[in-house]
Amino acid sequence: MIDQEQRQGIVRIAAMIAKARSVVVFTGAGVSTESGIPDFRGPGGIWTKFDPEDFTIDRFLTSPETRRKQWRFLLNGEPFRDARPNAAHEAIAELERLGRLDCVITQNIDNLHQKAGNDPARVFELHGNMRWIRCLECGQRYPLEEIIRRNEGLPDAPVCGHCSGILKPDVIFFGEALPEDALREATWHANQCDLLLAVGSSLVVYPAAYMPFYAKQAGAGLAIVNLSPTPADRIADVIVRASAGEAMRRIVAEVGRRLAGSCA
């Protein structure tokens, strides 16, 4: 249920979006949990089932057993492979169709913004994308489905078909730098927008979580939709404590009404 305070916040955010010249949406795990993908840190998340040390780049590179564990994780990764966009993803894609979205900056690795209809060129994935596998030797990239099809049932982790190098999910492990191009583009857009809307992120994982601060320091408005408090709440113009799907569905519906009214 949405209460009166939440409704007021939703209307304020919609008004900000309708007036803005350039809107950036920043998304975190709270957007994807409604698609059945557990938060890595929450109950039932990845870190309750796996040792986080197995997701360090050093361990991955030096331990064949760690690579086998990773491969078993990918083979059993139905929450990622079978997930479908939810109301929050669809609402963000609708913002793009309405001409109100500059880009999406996301911490998520599930490809659901693209599945919902956002232009992949407008989605900057700071932590990578689980649907791709990359060779650490020659840089060749493979769709995850292709690697699974070729290697399902094999006991060892697969290797690159071009150079026999180590294959790794194209996501950021602990100890790795964020992808340079995505980080540069995301930082530029955060500094150039006049509204940043952060949705479903605890804003505690850096350097990704700097994006709302960059936007605010550059003079943009900052709105936050999240169920729990974040470190950026103190500088936000509007905060809505609600689930991402419900809040974004209502926000975008209100944006549509405002835009339709302005054209009448």
Check residue 199 and report its DSSP letter.
E
**Spatial contact of 8 and 242, defined as CB atoms under 8 Å apart:** no
From the list 89, 113, 127, 189, the catalytic residue is 127
Check residue 80 and report its DSSP letter.
H
Going by C-beta distance under 8 Å and a sequence separation of 6 or more, which residues neighbour residue 227? 30, 241, 242, 243
Going by C-beta distance under 8 Å and a sequence separation of 6 or more, which residues neighbour residue 61? 136, 166
Going by C-beta distance under 8 Å and a sequence separation of 6 or more, which residues neighbour residue 263? none
Tokens 């943009």 belong to 220
Pairwise CA distance, residues 219 & 206, whole Å: 21
SS3 61: helix
Encoded amino acid at 35, one letter: S
Measure Cα distances from 104 to 41, 111, 165, 169 in Å.
23, 12, 33, 22
Is 162 annotated in the active site?
no
Q: Which residues are catalytic?
A: 127
